Each structure stands twice: as C-alpha cells, then as structure tokens.
Amino acid sequence: MEQIKNYIDGKWIDSRSGETFPSINPARKDEVVGVVARSREEDIEDAVKAARGAYEGWRLFPAPRRGEILFRAAEMLLKNKEALGRLETREMGKILPEGLGDVQEAIDMGYYMAGEGRRLSGETVPSELPDKDMKSIRIPIGVFGLITPWNFPIAIPAWKVFPALICGNTVVFKPSSETSACAAKFVEILAEAGLPKGVLNLVHGPGGEIGELLATHPGVDAVSFTGSFDVGSRLEGICGSIHRPIVTEMGGKNIILVMEDADVDLAVEGALWGGFGTSGQRCTAASRIGVHKKIYDAFTEKFRTAASRLRVGDGLKKGVDMGPVVNESQLKKVLKYIEIGKEEGATLILGGKIYDEGECSKGYFVEPTIFTEVTPEMRIAREEIFGPVACVIKTEDLRDAIRIANETPYGLSSAIYTRNVNDTAVAERDLDFGIVYVNASTIGAEIQLPFGGIKRSGYGRKEAGGRGGALDTYSRWKVIYRDFSGRLQKAQIDR
C-alpha cells in the first residue's frame, strides 16, 4: 500500500490537515491501491503560490529546452509503460491492453509536444507600408488549473500538462480522486525529467471540494476541465462571470450508423469496441447504434452473439475483454439506467445485471448489456450512461439515420459504416459532431489532430493537435508591428 502525497513547489508533502482517503481497486474492492493526501483550501493556496512563483522563470526558459525536458519525460514513460499500465488496471479497472494503450497515448503526446518546443510557430506577413514589418507570436497564458477524470488517468493528464508546459505556462494539476496513484506516478516522471520546482504542482482530493476552489482561485489564469456536463457547465458559468478562459470536455452520446451496404461483421466489431471498451466508460463510447432496417435483425443477432462471448473479469488476467466499472456509485448509476430502459419499453436482449461469478463478486462488474427496439426519445438513447450499455435503433435510410444521430444534446463522436463513397461524404458534412469516423468505431482519436465536441460535449478550444487544438488552448496570440521608417506612418490614412 503506497502513500500518495501532494507535489508542491518541488516537494512531495502530506496535505496540511494530514487527512487521507483510500484509492480502491474496482475489481477487488477490498484491495487498497494507495492512501492519498486529502487536500483542502490551504493546499490549493500553496500550490497556486508555487506555480505563480515559478511562472516568470519558466516563461523565459527557452522553448526548445522546455521541449528537451518533455522529450526525457516521454522516454521515461516509455521505459515505465508496463508498470504504469498495470497500475491503471489496478486503480480504475480497464483491461491491461487498454491501460498500456492509455500510457502509449501519453508517450505520443510527450514526443509531439517536445517537438513543438522548436516550432510554436506564429505568422509573418507583409505590411502595406514601407519600412514596416508585422508578425504574430505565441505567448503563455500564465497559471493553468488542470482538472482531469479517472477513465484515462495517464493520457488525459498528458493531453493537458504537456502542451501547457511547452507553451510556457505553469500548472496546478487536480486529478480524479479515483486515480490519484496514476497521477502521482505521471508527475513523478516529469519531476525526474528535470522540471524546475513549482512549474508542475499536484493536489489530490474530491473534485466537489477542491476542483472549484482551484478553478476560481484568483491566482489561476485559465482552466482546462474534463469530466461531467453538470460540473463542467457550472465551471463555465463561474469562469465566465470572472472573465477567466476555460476549456471543457464533457462527454457524449455517440452513435455508430450501420447502413444497408455495410460490412456487417466489421460493424459488429466496431460496435463491440465502441460499446464495451473500457466498460463503456469513455466520453467517445458508442452507446447508440443506428442500423438500417434492411439489416437490423441480422446485425442485432450477430452483435448479441459477439457481446455474449465477451469475457468479464479482472483486467490484469490474460484473456479478459472487459473489466469493472470504476466504483459503487457508477455501478448503481448503470443499473438505474438499465431499469429505466426496461420501463421505457426497450427490449433487453443481453445482460442487464451485476456480474458476480467467482472472483468478480469482489468488484463492481456489470454484464455487457444490449437493448433493442429503442426509440430516439428514450432516456437511454439521449442521456450519457457511462457504462457497458448499448442501444440499437432502427433507421429508415441515410437521411433518417443522420437525423436520429443529431437528435441529442451531445456532439462528440460519430461513425458510419458503408461502402458508398457518396454516403460517406454526406455523413461527413451533416453529422453534427466534433469527430466523424468512416468504417471505424467512435473510438480511436490520434494526438496529431484536435479533439473535442460541440453542444454539451464541450466548450472553448480543443485538446490535442497543434494549430486549432492544444497550442491554441494553452497559448495566446500577441501581434507585433515594427516601424523602422523613422517617421510617423498612419496605416490606411496614409494611403
């Protein structure tokens, strides 16, 4: 059992109160992964003060040298990939291959943002006047408050921390209390890679208690949040009222469309991965599958048969396809939505119960669950469940499928399976989502492009990527005009 401490101003320390809370293995709820420092307002004060004190030096630290530190961190993540992946599985439950993939995403982001240390490019354009030049440059924003969820406990912190640092910001990082051990290991690697003290600070504790304290602290200049819509929208309102930039990524009600000419077997694979990967606990999970009426029955039977063969269990065991949900609260939420689906008149064709066979009785496991005869207005087709529950909806044609897809408050990820190139063009144009996949599941974003959604799925600029994504999130533009004519020129007036 490990002691998980805060990291403030270059030191690993207990919370000022000395209070702690346990981090529990969701597959074996009697196993404590670590005992975590429970932060309060005074700990946030210390962390923000440290970040503010380190900002001037880090802002002026050459960006290529910042990149060298990030490159070393990526190398260390790669070296520790297996251990970090296993820790993810123990602390939040995803199966080991997914945990390793999560760490690889952080490695990719580290290398990518390290390279930006030698770019961070702006723009130089000609002036309409003689003896005058003009350019735009990127500059850091200041102290960032970063708040991350538990479902990607290494990757999402990397998506935020690496670009924030390469742009010259300092950081106070508040991870989910469910995955404090993973966050601590990530920060430990960055510290060992050579970050100066105070540049990156880590505080643990329940988001409802300290997340808002961090986001509203007067010493914080900007906020990036990934989590639920309810919390994110509240933070948006608060930050708007104090004129503080905030970026939010808040989940989705994603859909896979399967057209009559689709490769059905391939679409079933995509629906399995989208619906039950990470036990459905992804913001990009495919909790809706819209299937053309001509192949609805054939698809549904193949999907049910394939899902019934998924092996549920401890994600560290070889051959397991799906692990537990993260905690008891999430378990109860998923079971509640399954009951809502039954009450709404959807047909339950698979699962629907706690899975408690053998050692699974010690954890928070739910059977892979499929509803058919689902209509778009049902709550299970509109509200984010965040569990292994898939809803199959019958569609008439492409136009009807796109209409159904768009009739949701969310707009993060979507997919279409079809062999018709014209239909893919229409889908790309008309699907009202931040991300569209063609003949692939709703999961599979790569770090080179911006990531994020619209409507209730997100607000502000995007994560990942370069221009249009993370670099625009974690830096701001400054425009510079230099006149070396030696006389007053009045731009358009002089013309």
> Does 220 share its domain with 278?
no
> Does 285 share its domain with 211?
no
> Number of structural domains, the chain?
2
The predicted pLDDT at position 207 comes to 86
> Does 199 share its domain with 308?
no
CB 9 within 8 A of CB 172: no
Q: What does pTM read for this prediction?
A: 0.95
List CB contacts of 79: < 8 A, sequence separation 6 or more: none
Domain that holds residue 22: 2-250+457-480
Q: Which CATH number fits the domain that encloses residue 170? A: 3.40.605.10
> Does 476 share its domain with 414?
no
> Does 379 share its domain with 292?
yes
Tell whether 272 is covered by a domain.
yes
> Does 216 share its domain with 267?
no
Per-residue pLDDT of the chain (495 residues), as tens digits, is: 789 999 999 999 999 999 999 999 999 999 999 999 999 999 999 999 999 999 999 999 999 999 999 999 999 999 999 999 999 999 999 999 999 999 999 999 999 999 999 999 999 999 999 999 999 999 999 999 999 999 999 999 999 999 999 999 999 999 999 999 999 999 999 999 999 999 999 999 998 889 999 999 999 999 999 999 999 999 999 999 999 999 999 989 999 999 999 999 999 999 999 999 999 999 999 999 999 999 999 999 999 999 999 999 999 999 999 999 999 999 999 999 999 999 999 999 999 999 999 999 999 999 999 999 999 999 999 999 999 999 999 999 999 999 999 999 999 999 999 999 999 999 999 999 999 999 999 999 999 999 999 999 999 989 998 778 899 999 999 999 999 999 999 888 877
Catalogue the active-site residues. Answer: 249, 283
Tell whether 448 is covered by a domain.
no
> Does 291 share its domain with 406?
yes
The predicted pLDDT at position 209 comes to 86
Tell whether 310 is covered by a domain.
yes
> Does 284 share its domain with 374?
yes
Tell whether 487 is covered by a domain.
no
243 token code pair: 């004129």
> Does 270 share its domain with 350?
yes
The predicted pLDDT at position 5 comes to 98
Tell whether 491 is covered by a domain.
no
Tell whether 452 is covered by a domain.
no
Residue 429 burial (C-beta neighbours within 10 Å; 0-12, 13-18, 19+): exposed
Cα(440)–Cα(438) distance, rounded to whole angstroms? 5
pLDDT in tens, 118-168: 999 999 999 999 999 999 999 999 999 999 999 999 999 999 999 999 999
Q: Which CATH number fits the domain that encloses residue 405? A: 3.40.309.10
> Does 237 share its domain with 264?
no
Tokens 């990719």 identify what position?
Answer: 108
> Does 223 share its domain with 352?
no
